Chains A and B, each alone.
Chain A
């Protein structure tokens, strides 16, 4: 009885918990339009030309290496028995993994009603497309005779030969091409209202024409928004299982084999978690400089970086669990090949790849994000992201080459040594990726304007203080 009499007093003492706004400094709709369109409309800054020249040169050299490899043969790479997959497939898995963050942000966080996604989804989706483009290069050229790549497509031909639909490599073709196509459709659907904004602001005739064509005559009518929102929801709904399927299928390439360290059922969730982990690190790698250069700090706030850091911590912990469980299973299975393979991972010839890449970069460095001051310090965040970017490449190398270089018979053991073509093809894809991203921020709105506007309080038609919803006051207790 005593507690019942004190209860009202307790409630009145409790201060209302206000949320920190997603767009800071009470910016309005028009400010958002100006600031985000301004990035596209202003003249290209000097740093852009300098950076673009460097990345485009690297990309061009990468394309030269591709041409050299195609015209001369796969022998230009360091592949040899027993390591038949090395940097090529490592790069493929690395890039396709990076792509996953974009779809996670645009689809899964949309379904989970995470409104903070609106500040970063556009550029993360663009990053996805460019990463998948870089990824698609490697399986395309590692087959050797690129001009026979059409054999991957199930078309009737005079030999009567059909692709083997029961092969994970064939599943991969379908998964990656579907993923790319659906990502393009999703991205473009999201772009239409923003292209209409740029069309209505365009000053020159050519811009008006081009933005006009790509904005397909969008006029922001609610009868159109009704179908648009349904389409967006459904695209998000079907992209969600899709993104989880893509890296699962990539992991099947390995998991369905009989090789120690590959032949494991933990691979699909382990690969998906690793993909999101590496992808978020790449999103932050691109967004942290972009928000500073284009003065977008009010839209991509410390809160956004904090949340992304938490996702890196979460997925990094999944990955850590998976790494640990692999060692446990190697011991618990009692399989001597499995045990040797994992002993070799830590103390074998590629020992430092594990110690630096997997242990330090992937398992330990994200643990800094348990601390708020680390998540709030741009330099710490950037350091961890760089560690994760590198660590995830090493992880794929360890899985692929680490699994291959010690064959069942010691007489078949070997090592992998990359050639300059291996190295420069990979660096070339880094150049292609950054060049495409730089072109993207110059020509298209890097933040989804029509979506960020929805998170402003005045976008809500029931906005404004009412009896049920007292005005939110800062109390110093809010989560910043």
Chain B
């Protein structure tokens, strides 16, 4: 979709005066059946995931895999040298499976370490970050999204998107400064 001036349309966007107004608007947009849309706020708004019809984040599954990898890495790292490569009795402790309690601290630490890396990289990758630019930044009012602004944008690639319908919906939910945001 293009504007008369030849720009590609990214979204129809509106600003809301408060977190409450944005929350109520999100419920309306969700119920109107839109799928490709997002809200922007300076902080996570409690209950917004439900208001947008989003489920629980599945990032926890990635972190679980990270933790298991860490635990197995530590097990291999500790049993490998002590059992196979370099079997030596130190501190009067045996080198085989009976020494396992002495291996717990490092198993624990590597589980934590790998989980933390998994959480960090998963949050970036799942959010498509780092990202150099984004069409929403083409809207000059949007710089307030990290300060005190509350925004809602319905993307043009949503199958239900029509300019008139999107504008009407945003207007009826109390959106202000309703505007078309360009893709480029």
Contacts and interface: CB of A to CB of B under 8 A. Distances in A.
Interface in A332-347: none
A249 interface: yes
B106 A165 contact: yes
Contacts of A154: 77, 81
A392 B146 CA distance: 41
B40 to A, nearest CB: 5
B119 interface: yes
Q: Which interface class (under 10, 10 to 19, 20 to 34, 35 or more) fits B?
A: 35 or more
11 contacts: A160-B85, A174-B106, A178-B112, A201-B143, A219-B134, A227-B123, A234-B60, A234-B115, A238-B63, A241-B108, A454-B44
B146 A193 contact: yes
A411 interface: no
A116 interface: no
Given A217-B131, A238-B115, A450 B42 contact: yes
Nearest to B86: A162
B54 A223 contact: yes
A170 interface: yes
A216 B120 contact: no
A46 interface: no
Given A226-B44, A227-B59, 10 more contacts: A28-B148, A181-B116, A189-B119, A201-B147, A216-B131, A217-B129, A222-B48, A223-B52, A459-B19, A461-B48
Nearest to A459: B19
Contacts of B147: 29-30, 33, 197, 200-201
Interface stretch (B97-105, B156-164, B165-173, B176-184): B97-105
B110 interface: yes
B86 A249 contact: no
Contacts of B47: 461-462
Interface in B30-70: 38-49, 51-52, 54, 56-57, 59-60, 63, 67
A43 B33 CA distance: 50
B105 to A, nearest CB: 4
A478 interface: no
A451 interface: yes
Q: Which 8 A-B pairs have the closest CB atoms?
A: A217-B131, A461-B23, A29-B148, A216-B130, A231-B123, A230-B57, A166-B102, A162-B81
A242 B129 CA distance: 27
B8 interface: no
Interface string B62-98: 0100010000000001100110011000110100000
Nearest to A186: B116
B145 interface: yes
B127 A224 contact: yes
Contacts of B117: 185
Given A231-B123, A245-B105, A29 B91 contact: no
Contacts of B142: 219
Given A162-B86, A216-B129, A227-B57, A170 B48 contact: no
Interface residues of A, number: 68
A231 B38 contact: no
B113 interface: yes
B85 A165 contact: no
A225 interface: yes
Contacts of A252: 105
Nearest to B91: A166
Contacts of B60: 230, 234
B57 A160 contact: no
Contact of A219 (B40, B85, B124, B126): B40
B106 A170 contact: yes
A225 B44 contact: yes
Interface in A210-234: 213, 216-231, 234
A19 interface: no
Contacts of A222: 26, 38-41, 44-45, 48-49, 52, 54
B64 to A, nearest CB: 9
Given A217-B133, A249-B105, A460-B46, A164 B116 contact: no
Interface in A353-412: none
A110 B155 CA distance: 35
A165 B113 CA distance: 17
A217 to B, nearest CB: 3
B3 to A, nearest CB: 22
Contacts of A444: none
A432 to B, nearest CB: 25
Nearest to A223: B38
Contacts of B91: 164, 166-167
B137 to A, nearest CB: 7
A182 interface: yes
Contact of B20 (A170, A227, A461): A461
Contact of A164 (B90, B132, B145): B90
A124 interface: no
Contacts of B129: 216-218, 224
